[in-house]
C-alpha cells in the first residue's frame, strides 16, 4: 500500500490495481496535517497498518477495515513538542547504528510513565 504526504501535509494512500496501475483510496476527512509516516503491524492482526505523526503530536494507527471498505483510526501515542521536529526533508531516511540512536519519550494514552522509542515513529519525524 504505497502512501505519500503532499506539501500541505495531506496523506494519500494508493491501492495496487495490478499491471502497474494504482488507484488513490479515500481517507477519513478528520485526519490532521501529517508530518511523518511508517508502516508496521501495529495492532498485531497480521496486516500492515500506517502509523502517522500528526502536526499536533498525535501518533495515529490507520488500519484497513473490512478489506477496503473503510478505515480504523486510533491515537496510540503522542510525541512531545511535535512542532520542533523538522518537516519536508526530501533526503531518504537512513538508520543510525543502534549505539548512536537517541531515546525519545512518547506518552501513551492510558498508561503512566513514558514509553521509550529507539527507531520508531519519532525517529522518522526527525529524519
Distances, alpha carbon 94 to alpha carbons 6, 42, 126, in Å: 20, 21, 11
Highest mean pLDDT among 46-55, 98-107, 116-125: 46-55
d(CA 1, CA 55): 23
Residue predicted with more confidence, 67 or 14: 14
d(CA 24, CA 33): 18
Q: How many CB atoms lie within 10 A of CB 5?
A: 17
Closest CA to 24 of 32, 33, 16: 16
Can you say whether the dihedral through the CA atoms of 23, 27, 33, 39 is positive or negative?
Answer: negative
Does pLDDT of 126 surpass 70? no
Grid cell listed for 63: 488500519
Q: What is the pTM of this model?
A: 0.62
* pLDDT tens-digit series, residues 16-60: 888 889 999 999 888 899 989 999 999 898 889 999 999 899 999
Amino acid at each position: 500500500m504505497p502512501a505519500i504526504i503532499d506539501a500541505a501535509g495531506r496523506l494519500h494512500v494508493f491501492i495496487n490495481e495490478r499491471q502497474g496501475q494504482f488507484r488513490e483510496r479515500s481517507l477519513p476527512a478528520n485526519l490532521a496535517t501529517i508530518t511523518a509516516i511508517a508502516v508496521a503491524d501495529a495492532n498485531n492482526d497480521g496486516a500492515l497498518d500506517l502509523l502517522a505523526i500528526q502536526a499536533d503530536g498525535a501518533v495515529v494507527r490507520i488500519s484497513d477495515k473490512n478489506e477496503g471498505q473503510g478505515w480504523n483510526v486510533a491515537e496510540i501515542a503522542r510525541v512531545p513538542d511535535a512542532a520542533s521536529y523538522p518537516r519536508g526533508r526530501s533526503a531518504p531516511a537512513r538508520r543510525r547504528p543502534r549505539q548512536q540512536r537517541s531515546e525519545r519519550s512518547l506518552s501513551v494514552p492510558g498508561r503512566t510513565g513514558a514509553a521509550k522509542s529507539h527507531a520508531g515513529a519519532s525517529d522518522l519525524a526527525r529524519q
